[in-house]
Structure 1
Amino acid sequence: MRTPLTAGALLALALAAQPALAKGPATSPNEAATARHYASLIAGSQPNMAELTLFFTQMPKGGDLHHHYSGAIYVEQYVDFVDRQGYCVNKQTYRIETDKALVAAERAKPAAERNCLSSAEIYADDHTWRELLQRWSNKDFFNHGALQPPPDRLFFQTFGYFGPVSNSNFKEGLQELKKRAIAENVSYIETMFKLSPAVANPDFDAKAWQNANDDAAFDAQMRAWFAVLDKDPAFNKTIADFVARIVDSSEGIDDERFTMRYQTYVLRLLNPSLVFSSMVSGFKAAKSSDKIVGVNIVGQESTNISMRDYALHMKMFRFLKSVYPDVKVALHAGELAMGDVPPEGLKFHIDQALTVAGANRIGHGLDLAHETNATGIMQTMREKDIPVEINLTSNAFINGVEGSHHPINLYRKYGVPYVISTDDAGVTRHTLSNEYVLFASRYKPSYAEMKKTSYNSIRYAFLPVAEKQRLTRQLDQRFADFEAKIARLAKTAAKAP
C-alpha cells in the first residue's frame, strides 16, 4: 500500500494538476467562439439548462465507458421483446411469465378475463403500463403518490423484472443502442454485455472462506482449481459458445460512424467458486476474442455477501491478472455512501481494487473521501494514469450522492483522470448528453475541460492504439464541425433583438 501523501505534497499535487485542465487560448476562431458561448450558458447561479441540453446533445461525446447493456435498454423495448419471445406480463405482479402453456391458456381467455398481457395489451391498459414503468425503471419515482421501495432497492430489483427478455434479442438490443448513440453524437460504447459462465464447487467455497486471511494458501487453492478448469473440455466449450454468442450478436454493429466493444463480467453476489470460475471464463474469453476487451465485476456492493467476500474477489483478480497480464480490468469499486454500510466498510474498496486487483479503470469510486488511503489512491491513479468512471445520475439515484457531496471535484482537483458515463440509462431514463449537462451545470468546468473529457473517453477505452487513433481523428473532425455550427449559432443569438 502506498504511503499517504503529506499535506504539503498533496497541495503541490493539486497545484500541478490544475494547468492540465485549462490549457492556453483556444486554437481556432470557432473553438474560441464555442468556448465563449458555452461560458455564457453556465454563468451565474442559474445555468441555462435548456441551452446546455441543446449544446451537449449536439456536442461529440466520444465514448461511454461505464455502460451496462441490460440496464441501458429502455422498458419500452423490453415490453416489445415480451411478444417476440411468446411471453406475457402478469398484471398483478408485473413479472414476465415464460411458461408457454400458461401463456397459451391466458391467450385463450376473453380479453376482459386475462391476467397475463401481451405487449399491445400492456400499452392499451394505462394503469398497468404506468405501474410496470415504476417497477421496471425509476420512472415517476420523484413525482408520484404511491409507496415505493428505497431507490437502491428499486434500482437493483428492476433487473429481476425484465431479466427473462434481457438475455435474448441481443442483435435487436445492440442495434437500438447503436441508433441512439449515433443520434446523440456518441461514437463508441464499451458495454458490460454478458455474465461469463461459472461452475459451482462447494469444496472450493469452504476452503476459500477458511483461507480468506492466508494469501499463500488462497493463491495455492486458486492455482490448483485453475489448472483443472483450464484443461476441462466441457468448461472450455461453454467459454467458446459464450464468445461465439457475443461475436454473433455484435455482427453489423461496427461501421464508419460507430464502434462497440464488450466487457464480460462476474456477479459478486455469488459464492466464491461461482465468482472465481466465472472470472476464469471471463479472462479466457477476453484473451480469445478482440471483441471482448475487458472483465468487470457487478452487483450491489453494499450487500452482506459483497462486503464479506470483497477482499477475496480482489485476490481472485490479482491471481488471474498474473496469468493473463494483457487482459484489461475495470472494476466497480467504492459505489458506497455513508449509511449504506458501517463506517469501516467505506475505507478500503477503491484502494484494494487498485493495489490488489490491479484495476485499469475504477467504476464510480464514490466513497473516496471516506477511504483510509484516499490521498494515496489519488496519487496512484494520477501517476499510473488510471481514470475513474463518473456516473452522476446513477450516484444521485442509488446512493443519494450529488452536488458538492460527490467526489468528482476531489478527483479533478488532484489530477485524477476521469470520464463521464451513463451506467444504466434505460433504468434511470437518461442519456450521456444529460450526464454532460449535469456535470457542466453543477461544477462549471471550462469548455476546454469538457472537450478533454470527451477525448478521455477514447483515450481510456480498452482498445488497440490504432483504433484509438482512428476514433480520435474522427472526433477531431466532429468537433471541428460542431464548433463551426456553434459559432454560427452564437452569431445568430448576438443579432437577435
Structure 2
Amino acid sequence: MMQKNLLAAALSISVAAAFAVPAAARTPAPAASPNEAATARHYAALIAGTPKTAELTLFFSQMPKGGDLHHHYSGAVYAETYVDFLEKRGFCVDKRSYTIVTDKAAIDADRAKPAAARTCLTTAEVYADDQTYRELLQRWSSKDFHNHGADQPPPDRQFFSTFGYFGPVADSGNFHDGLVELKERAVRENVAYIETMYKLAPFVANADFDAKAWQNAENDAALDVQLRGWMTALDQDAKFTANLADFVAAIDKEAAGIDDERFTMRYQLYVLRLLNPSQVFSSMVSAFKAAHRGGKIVGVNIVGQESRMVPMRDYTLHMKMFRFLKKVYPDVKVAMHAGELALGDVRPEDLQYHIDQALNIAGANRIGHGIDLAHETNAPALMKAMRAKDIPVEINLTSNAFISGIEGENHPVTLYRKYGVPYVISTDDAGVTRHTLSNEYVLFASRYKPSYAEIKKTAYDSIRYSFLDKDGKARLARQLDARFAKFEADMAALERSSAKR
C-alpha cells in the first residue's frame, strides 16, 4: 500500500511539474480598479455556499461575454422561428409526422380538401392548433424533454433528429432572416461576436475515389498521392469552381448588413462526417479554398454525430484529409469537433484517440467539446501540448449534459482548468437545447465557482481565440474594455445599493 501511495505521489508530482509555469514567466495581474474589485466581491457572494442562480442569471445577462465560438447556425435558430419561416416559403407541416412538406403539388392538393380532412398546416394553423404546436416543439427541439412522461427517444437521438425536421426551412431561402434574429438576440444578451458554423461546403461524389480511399487509409504515401490527384482534378473542374464561387457569393449576400458597431459575425464552412470519402474530401477542398480567399469565411469544421458508424470507421481517414489540406493551405484555421463521446457510446478503445488525432494529425487550431479527454491514452501529453501551443477547447455545458450525460465533476472542464489548458464557453445549438450563452456562464459559475478574474478572462479569450484577423480582434477587445468598464460601474453601484439595505 505504501509503495502504491508513493507511486501515486510521484506521478502526481511529475504531472504537476510538467505543467508548472516558471516563476520568471509569470506576469503579475494588474491591480483591479475599485469598480472591478466591487464587482468581484459581488460575484463572490453569489457563488459562495449554495450558488444564488437567479442573481447569477441577472449578473451574467448583463455581463459582456465577448463571443460565442462554437455555434451552429441551424441549431441556434429556435423552432418557433422555423414555424414562422413556413409561411415565407409557402410550405406546410404534416400534423401526423411533424415533417415539412415542400412539394407544391402536394400542398395544393391538401388545401383543396375540406378543412376537417386537411393534414398539412400553415404557420397560422400550427399556432392555432395547440396540440400540434406543442408536439412540434417537442420534436423540433428539446422542449419539455425532462419534464413530461411521454415515450421519447434517447436524448442523443432526440437532439440529432431535430435537424431532419426543420432542415427544409433552415436551408431554403431564410438564411439572412435567421442571421438577423441571431444578431438581435446576441446584442440583447451582450454578446459582441459569433463565429457560426454556417453551411455545408459543396461536394461531389466519386465511387472510385471512395474505394481507393478506404484501400489507402493505412498507407499515408498512397493516400496523399490520391488526394493530390483528385484535388488537382477539382481545381481544373470548371463546374466545381463555378459552384464554389456562387456558394461564396451567396454567403456574402446573406451576411450583408449583419455587422455593425455593436456586433460582428464570421462564418465557418463545415464538412459532414457522415458522408462517403469523396464527398467529405471534395467538401473539405471547397471549404479550404473558400476560407483561403479571406473575407467573412474564417475557418473550416467537421460536424455530425461522432459516435455513428461512418464517422467512427473513417475518423482517422478524415484527420489525414485535414492534414493534407492544412499543408496546402497553412493559413486556413480549423476548429474540430473531436472527442464528443462518453463512456458507453462506443467501445472503450474508441474513446482513446479522437482528440489526439485531431491535434496531432489534423492540426486543429481549436477543439470542440473534447469530453472524452479522461479516456484518451495520451491525455496528460495532450493537455500539456494544448497549453504550450495555446490551443483552446470549446466548452458546451448544456449540450454535453443533454446529449451525452456529461456534467458536474464528470465534465473534463475540471481537467482542462486544473492543467492550464485554455478554454472558451460556448453554446453549440442553443435553439435546439433552448438556452443562451448567459445561461452557459451561469452553469459554469454555479458548478465550478471560478473567480471573477477567471470569468472575465474567459470573456476576453473568446475574442483572443476567434479566427478573426489581428485588427478585428483588437477592435473587439477595445469594445470589450469599454463594455466591462460600464458593467463594473453598474455592479459597483448595485453592491453599494445592496449594502445599504
Q: Tell me if the contact between 1:82 and 1:165 (Cα under 8 Å) persists in the aligned partners.
A: yes
Matches of 1:20 and 1:94 in 2, distance apart? 58
Q: 2:458 aligns with which of 453, 467, 471?
A: 453
Matches of 2:126 and 2:31 in 1, distance apart? 53
Q: Tell me if the contact between 1:14 and 1:413 (Cα under 8 Å) persists in the aligned partners.
A: no
Matches of 2:130 and 2:83 in 1, distance apart? 14
Matches of 2:29 and 2:297 in 1, distance apart? 38
CA shift at 1:10, angstroms?
A: 1.8
Matches of 1:439 and 1:8 in 2, distance apart? 28
Q: Give yes or no for the alignment of 1:32 onto 2:37.
A: yes
Q: Give yes or no for the alignment of 1:119 onto 2:123.
A: yes
Matches of 1:18 and 1:53 in 2, distance apart? 37
Alignment-derived partner of residue 86 in structure 1 = 90
Q: Tell me if the contact between 2:85 and 2:169 (Cα under 8 Å) persists in the aligned partners.
A: yes
Alignment-derived partner of residue 436 in structure 1 = 441
Q: Give the residue type in structure 1 aligned to 2:210.
A: D
Deviation sequence 1:195-230 (CA, Å, 0-9, x none): 000010101100111111111111111011111111
Alignment-derived partner of residue 156 in structure 1 = 160
Q: Tell me if the contact between 1:21 and 1:449 (Cα under 8 Å) persists in the aligned partners.
A: no
Alignment-derived partner of residue 409 in structure 1 = 414
Q: Give yes or no for the alignment of 1:73 onto 2:69.
A: no
SS of alignment partner, residue 369 of structure 1: helix
Matches of 1:6 and 1:360 in 2, distance apart? 29
Matches of 1:383 and 1:6 in 2, distance apart? 20
CA shift at 1:494, angstroms?
A: 1.2
Alignment-derived partner of residue 264 in structure 1 = 269
Structure 1, unmatched stretches of 5+, are none
Alignment-derived partner of residue 475 in structure 1 = 480
Q: Give yes or no for the alignment of 1:173 onto 2:150.
A: no
CA 1:155/1:18 → structure 2, altered by over 3 Å: closer, same or farther? farther
Q: What is the aligned-residue identity percentage?
A: 71
Alignment-derived partner of residue 296 in structure 1 = 301
Matches of 2:472 and 2:95 in 1, distance apart? 47
Q: Give yes or no for the alignment of 1:352 onto 2:357.
A: yes
Q: Give yes or no for the alignment of 1:107 onto 2:127.
A: no
SS of alignment partner, residue 90 of structure 2: coil
Where in structure 2 are the equivalents of 1:187-226 lying within 5 Å?
187-226=192-231
SS of alignment partner, residue 200 of structure 1: coil
Deviation sequence 1:129-173 (CA, Å, 0-9, x none): 111011100000000121100000000000000000001211100
CA shift at 1:14, angstroms?
A: 4.6
Deviation sequence 1:453-495 (CA, Å, 0-9, x none): 0000000000111110000000000000000000001111111
Q: Give the residue type in structure 1 aligned to 2:83.
A: V
Q: Give the residue type in structure 2 aligned to 1:271.
A: N
Q: Give yes or no for the alignment of 1:364 onto 2:366.
A: no
SS of alignment partner, residue 21 of structure 2: helix
Q: Tell me if the contact between 1:175 and 1:253 (Cα under 8 Å) persists in the aligned partners.
A: yes
Matches of 1:431 and 1:208 in 2, distance apart? 41
**RMSD value, Cα:** 1.7
CA shift at 1:103, angstroms?
A: 1.0
CA shift at 1:23, angstroms?
A: 6.1
Deviation sequence 1:31-89 (CA, Å, 0-9, x none): 00000000000000x20000000000000000000000000000010000011110100
Q: Give the residue type in structure 2 aligned to 1:465.
A: K
CA shift at 1:22, angstroms?
A: 11
Q: Which moved more, 1:25-34 or 1:13-22?
A: 13-22
SS of alignment partner, residue 473 of structure 2: helix
Aligned residues: 491
CA 1:357/1:424 → structure 2, altered by over 3 Å: closer, same or farther? same
Q: Give the residue type in structure 2 aligned to 1:106.
A: D
Matches of 1:204 and 1:18 in 2, distance apart? 54
Alignment-derived partner of residue 135 in structure 2 = 131
Matches of 1:376 and 1:253 in 2, distance apart? 41
Q: Tell me if the contact between 1:17 and 1:414 (Cα under 8 Å) persists in the aligned partners.
A: no
Q: 2:251 aligns with which of 221, 246, 250?
A: 246
Matches of 1:195 and 1:25 in 2, distance apart? 44
Q: Tell me if the contact between 1:199 and 1:274 (Cα under 8 Å) persists in the aligned partners.
A: yes
CA 1:340/1:485 → structure 2, altered by over 3 Å: closer, same or farther? same
Q: Give yes or no for the alignment of 1:62 onto 2:66.
A: yes
Structure 2, unmatched stretches of 5+, are 1-9
Matches of 1:88 and 1:388 in 2, distance apart? 40
CA shift at 1:25, angstroms?
A: 7.1
Q: Tell me if the contact between 1:18 and 1:415 (Cα under 8 Å) persists in the aligned partners.
A: no
Q: Give yes or no for the alignment of 1:463 onto 2:455.
A: no
Q: Give yes or no for the alignment of 1:330 onto 2:335.
A: yes
CA shift at 1:18, angstroms?
A: 12
CA 1:18/1:235 → structure 2, altered by over 3 Å: closer, same or farther? farther
Q: Give the residue type in structure 2 aligned to 1:180.
A: R
Matches of 1:210 and 1:18 in 2, distance apart? 51
Q: Give the residue type in structure 2 aligned to 1:226.
A: M
Matches of 1:7 and 1:316 in 2, distance apart? 37
Matches of 2:179 and 2:410 in 1, distance apart? 35
Q: Tell me if the contact between 1:361 and 1:387 (Cα under 8 Å) persists in the aligned partners.
A: yes
TM-score (norm 1): 0.97
Q: Tell me if the contact between 2:38 and 2:492 (Cα under 8 Å) persists in the aligned partners.
A: yes
Q: Tell me if the contact between 2:19 and 2:384 (Cα under 8 Å) persists in the aligned partners.
A: no
Q: Give yes or no for the alignment of 1:277 onto 2:298.
A: no
Q: Give the residue type in structure 1 aligned to 2:354.
A: H
Matches of 1:460 and 1:24 in 2, distance apart? 20
Q: Tell me if the contact between 2:100 and 2:168 (Cα under 8 Å) persists in the aligned partners.
A: yes
Matches of 2:345 and 2:24 in 1, distance apart? 36
Matches of 1:485 and 1:20 in 2, distance apart? 35
Alignment-derived partner of residue 381 in structure 1 = 386
TM-score (norm 2): 0.96
